Amino acid sequence: MTAPSGWHRAKSMAEGIEFKVEDSVARIRLARPEVGNAIDLAVARALLAAAVVCETDDSIRCVMLTGEGRLFCAGGDISAMKAAGDALPAMLAELIATFHAAVSRLARMPKPLLVTVNGPAAGAGFSLAMLGDIVLSTRSAHYTAAYGAIGLTADGGLSWLLPRLVGLRTAQEIILTNRRIGAEEAERIGLITRAVDEHALAAESEGMAKKLAGAPVAALGAVRALIKESYESSFETQLDRELRSMSMAAAAEAKEGLAAFLAKRLPNFTGD
């Protein structure tokens, strides 16, 4: 399957998502800055469509997710929820099912996900921020579960991701008290990979995306799956999965990696 070189900005803005593929990197940008990139059904559907392309297009070697404007993502669209009135349970069921389909594809796709957090993240935005294999954050960003403040519960994988990143006790405090986590603390407790200065975020993110796109992506995708499966596997089961994964990798990118190592040159995993 071949991905589009880019979606027309007007169409993307109407859906609340900008999506383009350049130099083997798919870039997804949440694009509703006037409402803090809040997620409504149109955004969830556009995010799912982009995630399907990212998952299935072999020309894409790395996916980068970020937000436009001051916030990364404020979470679900509160105005849309209020407008739903008594139909809120049905409205949330459709919205979250669509959003979760996108999250699942981004989590399970066989290629790395880089999340660049350009500003505060709350609720479902918090979940999206944590989803990356590498998460780079501005120092001014902060993270809040936010659900308890409006009488709702966690979504977007937050209840699964957060305890695995920061531990059970810390996750309980963050979710139950809605305590705001600054970027420096987020780095210290393992919520994000690294906090960087605002002026350096774009360059560092592009450098990381280029590095990931040039890596042995099939092997990275396999390791990505191994790490996620490890939480549900016995030690012996995980050993067997590692064996099978290593055997499959040996028939693919390892040939180039070994040849480059023995020739004392940089490997070329892209074939360019």
Q: Which uninterrupted H or E stretch holds 225? A: helix 217-229
Report the pLDDT value the prediction gives residue 231, as an integer from 0 to 100. Answer: 84
Q: Helix (H, G, I), strand (E, B), or coil: what is residue 20?
A: strand
Cα separation of 198 and 248, whole Å?
41
pLDDT bracket for residue 9 (50, 70, 90): very low
Report the pLDDT value the prediction gives residue 10, as an integer from 0 to 100. Answer: 37
DSSP collapsed to 3 states, 89-134: HHHHHHHHHHHHHHHHHHHHCCCCEEEEECCCEECHHHHHHHCCCE
Report the pLDDT value the prediction gives residue 136, as an integer from 0 to 100. Answer: 98
Tokens of 8: 């027309």
Start-to-end CA span in the chain (Å): 19
Cα separation of 93 and 142, whole Å?
28
What is the number of other CB atoms lying within 10 angstroms of the CB of residue 164? Answer: 15
Question: Do 169 and 177 contact (CB within 8 A), yes or no?
Answer: no
pLDDT bracket for residue 3 (50, 70, 90): very low
The answer on pLDDT for 23 being more than 60 is yes
Question: Do 189 and 166 contact (CB within 8 A), yes or no?
Answer: yes
| Dihedral sign, Cα of residue 28, residue 189, residue 194, residue 149 | positive
What is the number of other CB atoms lying within 10 angstroms of the CB of residue 267? Answer: 18
Mean pLDDT of 235-250: 88
The answer on pLDDT for 8 being more than 70 is no
The answer on pLDDT for 254 being more than 60 is yes
pTM (two decimals): 0.89
> Rounded to the nearest 5 degrees, what angle is found at the Cα of 124, between the Cα atoms of 122 and 126?
45
Question: Which fold would CATH assign to domain 9-213?
Answer: 2-enoyl-CoA Hydratase; Chain A, domain 1 (3.90.226)
Tell me the percentage of the chain whose pLDDT exceeds 90.
74
The amino acid at residue 139 is R
Most confidently modeled range among 78-82, 95-99, 218-222: 95-99
Q: For the ranges 11-15, 73-77, 113-117, 186-190, which has the lowest average pLDDT? A: 11-15
Mean pLDDT of the chain: 90
pLDDT bracket for residue 14 (50, 70, 90): low
Q: For the ranges 41-45, 111-115, 243-247, which has the lowest average pLDDT? A: 243-247
The answer on pLDDT for 67 being more than 90 is yes
Residue with tokens 């592009």: 206
Q: Does 7 or 134 have the greater pLDDT score?
A: 134
Nearest C-alpha neighbor of 113 from the set 5, 204, 25: 25
The answer on pLDDT for 21 being more than 80 is yes
Mean pLDDT of 136-155: 91
Cα separation of 149 and 151, whole Å?
6
Q: Helix (H, G, I), strand (E, B), or coil: what is residue 66?
A: strand
Report the pLDDT value the prediction gives residue 4, as an integer from 0 to 100. Answer: 43
Question: Do 113 and 132 contact (CB within 8 A), yes or no?
Answer: yes
Report the pLDDT value the prediction gives residue 41, as an integer from 0 to 100. Answer: 95
Mean pLDDT of 23-34: 96
Tokens of 180: 């705001």
Cα separation of 179 and 195, whole Å?
19
